[in-house]
Amino acid sequence: GENVEQHPSTLSVQEGDSAVIKCTYSDSASNYFPWYKQELGKGPQLIIDIRSNVGEKKDQRIAVTLNKTAKHFSLHITETQPEDSAVYFCAASIGGANNLFFGTGTRLTVIP
């Protein structure tokens, strides 16, 4: 099955700086890559996703890049704010969100 690795496990940045989280996947058939933000005591919230027919997608301060050849994708958060502090999970799947394989998570702390 699919294996998704995520780095780093923890990340601290100063408010206003950028944060980058990276994931690799093993199954070249995977074609859907969402990112979720999970705050304490809550379920994961979808923040952005990308499909394999594009290389980059942006939504305000958040962007995701995908390198199919290298089988890795990254989350970029610019101008970080304290409310960005949470655990972020990447995931990969084939054909949509039917069976998501999740990375191990990154705890992001934005220091005011």
Partner 1 sequence: SAVISQKPSRDICQRGTSLTIQCQVDSQVTMMFWYRQQPGQSLTLIATANQGSEATYESGFVIDKFPISRPNLTFSTLTVSNMSPEDSSIYLCSVVRGQNTEAFFGQGTRLTVV
16/29 with CB nearer partner 1: 29
Gap between the Cα atoms of 49 and 57, Å rounded: 8
CA torsion sign, 3 to 9 to 15 to 19?
A: negative
Q: Binding to partner 1 by residue 112, rule CB under 8 A?
A: no
**Subset of residues 29 to 88 that bind partner 1, contact rule: CB under 8 A:** 34, 36, 41-46, 49
31/78 with CB nearer partner 1: 31
Size of the site for partner 1 (CB under 8 A): 21
Which residues does 69 contact at the CB level (< 8 Å), separation at least 6?
none
Gap between the Cα atoms of 47 and 60, Å rounded: 11
Q: Binding to partner 1 by residue 14, rule CB under 8 A?
A: no
Residues that bind partner 1 (CB under 8 A): 1, 34, 36, 41-46, 49, 89, 95-100, 102-105
